[in-house]
Chain A
Amino acid sequence: MKAEIAQILSVLHPVAEITAWLVICQGMLQSAIYLGQLLLAYQTLRDSPPIRRSDALWWDYGDVAMPIALLMPAYNEEATIGESIRSVLALQYPSFEVIVINDGSKDGTLQALTAAFDLKPVVRPHEQAVSHRPIRGVYGSPRYANLLVIDKENGGKSDALNAGINLSRSPLFCAMDADSLLEPDALLRAVQPFVDDPYRVVAVGGTIRVVNGCEVRSGRVIRTGLPRRLLPLFQTIEYLRAFLMARLAWSRLDALTIVSGAFGIFRRSIAIEVGGYTHGTVGEDLEIVIKIHRRMQEAKRDYHIRFVPEPVCWTEVPESLRVLGRQRKRWQRGALETLARHRDMILNGNYGRVGMLGLGNALLTDAFGPLFEVLGYLLVPLFWATGLLSVDFLVAFLALTFVFGICISVGSLILEELELRRFPRARDLFILTLAAILENFGYRQLNNIWRVLGFYQYLRGKQGWGTMTRRGFAKKT
């Protein structure tokens, strides 16, 4: 028996070693990328012009900012749609139109809109530039000349956005979620790259921040605060890392592969050129950006997709493990769908930095990262238990991995504090530091497990969004 065990262990030993090295190499590569992102993000913020006040922006940009159509797909948003639209209609921007697309809601969304804004049927001549499900009616408000409501058959978010693109007449459109809150000057700030470089900039993304814990009144965040629960607090750190560090760095490298679906501005003509949003995908925001990259790179056109850290869109993040897990699995499926669809671009020099850096990173961190990390969770203790792995090395590597994760999160907090200072109290920084440490013990592992499950769902061909349960902004303090 002992001889048999020894034989099995002798076979397992090289496997253990190779696996351990694979996990270590992947981890080190990913860590190096994070470190690079942090440095690039810092450099970008340092080189940016000082953040101007809203009135100064209006003075400089009011005359020359391009008109924007805000596209707000709404599905079963009866309870909050009126407040959301009122808040959007009050944005500070010289010329904008709000297009709400009721995507075949099963509740009383259209009735709520009609009652709130006194909607009447209107005629809106438009081109059929991109495809979508049939429109049942178009409505305008006698009280708000810049509000248009499209009522259409259900087809999903991509389909609703396509309908909005067809009916919009502005050179730019802003895709946003009906339940997100934009800061009053968000459009004025986000449009700056288009104003500064109107020929080359084709899309701009802004920062998404966590609204849980903030005080919201009449669709406006009037006091920034931190969530009281751990789960949204961890997500606050995650969003800081994702937006302030990663997207800023990729934008500087001209290799940004995603503009958030909750708040992104696109040049309408380019979106039409690529056929609009792709139907039947759960990662429509990633998909359209990659399609734009493909189109522009293949045509060898000079272009930029930018990220601007200051325009802020607030969103409510899940507070329960069940909903968060569903969201993360869906994100993973969306990323994998798009990576698979555009696999010929990955690490392909013909697609420039996007192919080599942006998509190469997506492959490493989004596709393989969670798999390797979960593999590590499973195999390393197993190898340790069977004596194939030294306990000293195991503990040391775990410590290094955790400490590096904390270091990167703290780096993002430092960026936030040095350049933006959105959290009002010193105490908030202390709480966020604690969260940056704690998230490495349990939350990070759970996230990776959800993403691996998302991988599995993708392989099984699962479709659909699931339901996002929201607490609503009205009670949020």
Chain B
Amino acid sequence: MLLRAIWLTSVALAALSVAGMLLLIVRRMILARSERKRGQLRDALMVRVVDYLDGTGDYYHLVRLAGQHPDIAGELIGEMRQLVRGAHREKLSELVVSLGIVAFNLKRLRSRDARQRRLAAAWLAVAPGEGVIAALEAALDDPDYHVRLEAVRSLTELRAVRSVIEIVEKLGGEAQYNSRVLYHIFRQLVPELSGQLVELLHSGHAVPIKVLALDALGKSGDGALVGPISALADDPSEELRAKALRSLGELGYPDASPFVLRALDDESWRVRTQAANCAGRIGCLAAIPRLTELLGDEQWWVSYRAAEALYVLGEEGRRALADAAARPGHAGRVSELIIAEKTQMAA
């Protein structure tokens, strides 16, 4: 009985393996043929679309070709739309509507297959219009995180995000807010929604969300934001204090000096590192004495950034650095190395 079961299992597994591989090989041959056809269709479509843009093409032939494979047409026109500007871009936007590609993707956005929904949500970024925006907003409630993320990305590209807080809440759990992809999205929300981003800073939302807002605001170049960002000086979160200093450094306004001077004494070495970096970037000459002290900080990155900051703080800073380099010990060694490195880079 046992022997028979063993043999039957062996035969079944062998048959399964052989059948599986045969099926795959056949499938591969079919796919290769279909991909060749898709490639030919794509080439033909490209010629028709270019002719259409030049006003010389046969529109009905184009409609017929695109209707056979709206996914290929959508992919192709989406790519072409990224390469062109002005009137041609507008024409392509009209074309995707008239060829039914928008309708195809709106339908695909309701597919049961999450992969199809993700592709549709990503594609719809090329198709401005109220219907598309409404569908993307509805996709923010999709059970699949990647569909929601693609919907947010597309809404951002279409400049159709109405509420930052809404997209943050709809995206989901705290861990997912940490995604650096969101940095890219949040940066695109400035300047239209910078007021909402400032509100986020002082809301009860989790630290990673505030970090996202701080990052975006730091890229805005808007000096009026120094105040709201500096208000995080006493935040209990080390990460927020450090990120706020980084953003102030990126803004580059000297108004941030009082906050930076205080942060140079922070108990966290990460915050001190960012403070030293920021002092250099905003040209905070008042920080020179404290930066000179920080050359001897036990954390290597603090002393390194302090030395770098002194080097960029003009003649006075470089003099302090040269004086420190003449002294023995860790501070002297770091100063000496930074001077050598910067001199070599300048050469």
Contact = CB atoms under 8 A, between A and B. Distances in A.
A418 to B, nearest CB: 8
B181 A61 contact: yes
Interface stretch (B17-25, B47-55, B312-320): B17-25
Interface stretch (A239-247, A402-410, A455-463): A402-410
Given A403-B13, A406-B17, A125 B334 contact: yes
A70 interface: no
A415 B58 CA distance: 43
A64 interface: yes
21 contacts: A60-B181, A60-B184, A64-B183, A66-B180, A122-B341, A123-B337, A123-B340, A123-B344, A126-B300, A127-B301, A198-B179, A198-B180, A399-B6, A400-B9, A400-B10, A400-B13, A403-B10, A414-B24, A417-B24, A426-B32, A429-B24
Contacts of B134: none
A116 interface: no
A66 to B, nearest CB: 8
Interface in A418-463: 421, 426, 429-430, 433
Nearest to B340: A123
Contacts, number: 109
Interface in B268-307: 300-301, 304, 307
A426 B28 contact: yes
Nearest to A192: B181
B10 A396 contact: yes
A124 interface: yes
Nearest to A404: B13
A433 B21 contact: yes
Given A393-B3, A410-B21, A195 B10 contact: no
Contacts of B301: 127
Return the 7 tightest CB-CB contacts between A and B, nearest first. A127-B300, A125-B337, A64-B180, A123-B340, A396-B6, A410-B17, A426-B28
B146 A49 contact: yes
A414 B334 CA distance: 56
A195 B178 CA distance: 8
B51 to A, nearest CB: 25
A316 to B, nearest CB: 27
B337 A392 contact: no
A196 interface: yes
A199 B178 CA distance: 7
A411 B19 CA distance: 12
A467 B243 CA distance: 48
A429 B25 CA distance: 7
A396 B3 contact: yes
A198 B10 contact: no
Interface string A50-67: 100000000011011110
B326 interface: no
B274 to A, nearest CB: 14
B24 A413 contact: yes
A396 B7 contact: yes
B231 interface: no
Interface in B324-347: 334, 337-338, 340-341, 344
Contacts of A122: 341, 344
B138 interface: no
B44 interface: no
A197 interface: yes
Nearest to B116: A50
B84 interface: no
Contact of A406 (B14, B175, B208, B334): B14
B119 interface: yes
Interface in A192-237: 194-200
A397 interface: yes
B30 to A, nearest CB: 10
B97 interface: no
B184 A63 contact: yes
B176 to A, nearest CB: 8
B60 to A, nearest CB: 31
Nearest to A50: B115
A406 B21 CA distance: 11
A426 B153 CA distance: 38
A259 B334 CA distance: 35
A456 B118 CA distance: 53
B178 A123 contact: no
B8 to A, nearest CB: 10
Nearest to B9: A400
Q: Which of B14, B180, B183 has the most CB of A within 10 A?
A: B180
Contact of B16 (A64, A127, A197, A407): A407
Given A125-B304, A403-B17, A63 B183 contact: yes
Interface string B108-128: 000000010011000000000
B341 A124 contact: yes
Given A122-B344, A198-B178, A400 B6 contact: yes
Contacts of B337: 123, 125
Contacts of A392: 3
A407 B13 contact: yes
A304 to B, nearest CB: 10
Given A123-B341, A392-B3, A393-B3, A200 B181 contact: no
Nearest to B183: A64
A194 B181 CA distance: 10
A304 B184 CA distance: 23
Contact of A414 (B20, B29, B175, B344): B20
Contacts of A196: 179-181
Interface in A62-102: 63-66
Q: Which of B17, B20, B344 has the most CB of A within 10 A?
A: B17
Contacts of B28: 417, 421, 426, 429
Interface string A367-401: 00000000000000000000000001100110110
Interface in B159-179: 175-176, 178-179
Contact of A125 (B6, B9, B341): B341
A426 B25 contact: yes
A249 B9 CA distance: 25
B187 interface: yes
B310 to A, nearest CB: 13
